[in-house]
Structure 1
Amino acid sequence: MTEKKLKIRQQAFALTLCTVVFMTVYNAATWYASSLDQLPSFTFDFEKFIPFLPLSIIPYMASGFFFCMVFFSCRDKYQLKILTWRMLFVIITAGIIFITTPLQFSFTKPEVSNDVLNLPFLFLKIFDSPFNQSPSLHIAFAFIFWSVFRDLTKWRIFLMISLILVGISTLTTYQHHVIDILTGAIVAHISFLIIPYRKNKFEYRNFQFANYYFVSGWILISAGLLTDHYLGSEGFIFFLPAIATFMIGYYYQNNIKILSPFVFTVKQNIRQFRKN
């Protein structure tokens, strides 16, 4: 057995494992939600202005392709193991939330006149459900996919744009509400914190710091929107610190030393003072 075949078998096994767990958890949660008499839904007031865009079904459905592709994009066994554990964590965590706090989608989906685009919508109507909303697994998966795709040299920009479109499509296909996107992002970044990648290597340590800031940013945005929803416009005071934490997380993730020019100048002055 060659090393290449062994690696492909491991990737195929990881994909099969995550697929089986996903189908089991998702269908079990759907069965439970459908057995309930009444299910609540949660929307923000501004969501009524989100347009329904039939074309966005293309990136939405492409998430299934990325689900398969990501396992075969791993560079080594360790990265495959981390990916698998993160996927399983997100699926199981989402399944627990689906059952304990079930929500359903509440908007009426317009009819799609285009016969070609209508086919995937019919597929969703038959095999998907209006339940299992928060957290959005499309969003959580997109973040986890990117944790692997960002290391690729080819198609990196294309994949990044595609995953952004996947995130947008969850809203414009009328499959998810905004609260689902926020909770999906939080669950994904919690998985990065609980299951870190090469935590003992210095060059990856900044990624761990970045994820603390990203989780804080998503929580602050959620707190701001929820406060605004229930109490009024005062909730927007959370947005400025949220933006600040996202910026700090971005700097850490890209190994940018935020205070390096200032620190360098101070060190130069100290050295000059000592010389004098």
Structure 2
Amino acid sequence: MGTAVTAPSINRPWRRATGWLIALAAFFYLSYSVSNWLASQRGDVPTIVFAWEHGIPFLAWTIIPYLGTHALFALSFYVCRNRVELDSHAKRLLTAQVVAVVCFIAFPLRVSFARPQTTAEFGLLFDALGILDMPFNQAPSLHIATTVILFDLYSRTLPRWTLPVTIVCALLVGASVLTTYQHHFIDMPTGVLLGLLSVWMWPPEGGNRLASALGMPSRFYK
């Protein structure tokens, strides 16, 4: 009789995943709040909005996919199958956060649409969001950049049959940044570009493509 072949076990780095989650969440809330506060101290924060955007409907229920990104963000660290993949994923998120916050501070923008009054459970969700959020921190959309990074991870690590669900979730989140009046359109393509840059810089197998292209020694980015 032949020897049975078993699939290689996946030793997920649970503790390291928790450490990255706590560190990045703390950095996000601190840096996001600071950049919001700095923008609020300025009296000349501009807005970039196209005329056609005034026709975008406000859909209160889309606050659910919008806030759902936070849950997917937290779970993503535990989806990573090994330490190298986890570190690359965390560095992607950190890169997106740093670049976005620098842009928020250097070139702040604001959303110009007033959110309609909401009631019941959707109103509670918007009120919870409003505790941290302000009408600044627009381009590039960190929400969109994070969604791009999460999509790459989930589409690679989850079973293939879940891919259609992953695509639908990503599209819903992308639409929700407009239909919740959290962002203007200009924030979306800039957010996608930031997400793609972060994904390109940190491949799942480790290393840094940008640093390698610049000829930097690996000790500077490992």
**TM-score, normalized by length of structure 1?**
0.68
Q: Aligned to 1:176, which of 173, 180, 183?
A: 183
For CA contacts below 8 A with separation 6 or more, give which structure has more relative contact order: 2
Cα distance, 1:127 vs structure 2: 2.2
Alignment partner of 1:23: what SS?
A: helix
Counterpart position of 1:82:
88
Q: Aligned to 1:32, which of 17, 31, 38?
A: 38
Q: Aligned to 2:146, which of 138, 141, 145?
A: 141
Distance 1:144 1:103, change over 3 A: same
Distance in 1, Cα, partners of 2:30 & 2:162? 32
Q: State the superposition RMSD in angstroms.
A: 1.9
Alignment partner of 2:13: what SS?
A: helix
Q: Aligned to 1:191, which of 198, 210, 216?
A: 198
Counterpart position of 2:121:
116
Counterpart position of 2:102:
96
**Which structure is higher in helix share?**
1
Cα distance, 1:174 vs structure 2: 0.4
What are the ranges of 5 or more consecutive residues in structure 1 without an aligned counterpart? 201-207, 209-276
Distance in 2, Cα, partners of 1:119 & 1:27? 21
Cα distance, 1:166 vs structure 2: 0.8
Counterpart position of 2:215:
none
Superposed CA deviations along residues 8-35 of structure 1, whole A, max 9, x for unmatched, are: 1011011111112111211110111111
Q: What is the one-letter code of the residue matched to 1:79?
A: E
Cα distance, 1:199 vs structure 2: 7.6
Alignment partner of 1:72: what SS?
A: helix
Cα distance, 1:132 vs structure 2: 0.5
Q: What is the one-letter code of the residue matched to 2:34?
A: A
**TM-score, normalized by length of structure 2?**
0.83
1:166 aligns with 2:173: yes
Alignment partner of 1:150: what SS?
A: helix
Pairing 1:1-276 to 2, within 5 Å after superposition: 7-112=13-118, 114-151=119-156, 152-153=158-159, 155-198=162-205
Distance in 2, Cα, partners of 1:21 & 1:136? 17
Superposed CA deviations along residues 164-196 of structure 1, whole A, max 9, x for unmatched, are: 111110000000000011110011111122223
Farther-moved stretch of structure 1 (162-171 vs 121-130): 121-130
What are the ranges of 5 or more consecutive residues in structure 2 without an aligned counterpart? 1-9, 210-222
Cα distance, 1:104 vs structure 2: 0.5
